[in-house]
Chains A and B, each alone.
Chain A
Amino acid sequence: MTDVALKQEIDANPLTTALVEKTKAGRIGWQATANENTFIASVGGDTTLRLTLESVVDFDPYGQPESYDVPVLCLLDSKGKTLWEVHSREVKGGLWPLYKLAQRIANKVDEKVEALMEALQKL
């Protein structure tokens, strides 16, 4: 890697775009965890993706503090060490699309809706 490349911040956009595409293609097996706001998936036998909600405190136009949740993507190595933390603001369009997809897959929402539709048709 050149000095010029190291002086620049790593662009998270290609990674998140690829993750969204692969998730849509059903190639990434997101899993629900003991924390209902956290989803994980391991890829390539040595990297784990951890997508979670982080509480951020900001100030409203009146100067009052307000907190809200934003998704954060963590890349963990095979030892469980965090290699890279990608915040929603670093990604064009944010991390919400990826988070929603991961949530949908991990919670098997499509299967459950399908089963519900079948049950409703039998009523």
Chain B
Amino acid sequence: MALFDLIAQLASILGLVFSIAAFIKATSAATAAKEARDAVFIRTVADEFQLACNDMDQLLDLITHDRFAEAARVAHGLTSALSEIPYRRGIYLSVERKNELLDVRTQLQIIEEQIGRAKGAPLTPKQKQTLIKVCQTSSVTMRENLGTIKGQVEVGGKP
């Protein structure tokens, strides 16, 4: 009887050990899955940013060559994209980065307004230079953000 009790106790202890081991494994698997998902999300954010940066370069080019109708269309698309990214990817963006994106988005809205005014009266060289300067500054801000996000991808997608 004493031997049976001993075996039962050992079995209980072994059961407990296996349960703890299984719990640890499950926790680490869940963590690994979350990290993998985060990495995929960060890569997607980087891809979306890359597209937005390309659009910003295109906008700059269109303004430089006085193609304002197309520039307005690109600016509108870019404004929409920049409105969407913080909503969909907000948890992966710091407050500072969100502020920068909001700034760029508002800059684009103002660019759109200025281009809209150009339909009534052509832009003066000074106004055009201002548009180009703002586009360049916004492009740099977006490239800096893209660099930071790509850096996150390289270190394993840590948000």
Interface residues of A (CB under 8 A from B): 29, 31-36, 38, 40-48, 50, 76, 78-80
Q: Compute the total of residue contacts between A and B using a CB distance below 8 Å.
A: 65
B110, A48: Cβ atoms closer than 8 Å: no
For the complex, give the distance between the alpha carbons of A34 and B98 in Å. 21
Interface residues of B (CB under 8 A from A): 79, 83, 86-87, 93-96, 98-100, 102-103, 105-107, 109-111, 113-114, 127, 130-131, 134, 137
B83, A48: Cβ atoms closer than 8 Å: no
By secondary structure, the B interface counts as helix
B106, A42: Cβ atoms closer than 8 Å: yes
Residues on B with C-beta less than 8 A from A35 are 110, 113-114
For the complex, give the distance between the alpha carbons of A35 and B98 in Å. 23
Looking at the assembled complex, report how far the CB atom of A54 sits from the nearest CB atom of chain B, in whole angstroms: 14
Residues on B with C-beta less than 8 A from A80 are 79, 83, 105-106, 109
For the complex, give the distance between the alpha carbons of A32 and B107 in Å. 9
Residues on B with C-beta less than 8 A from A76 are 106
B109, A44: Cβ atoms closer than 8 Å: no
Residues on B with C-beta less than 8 A from A36 are 130
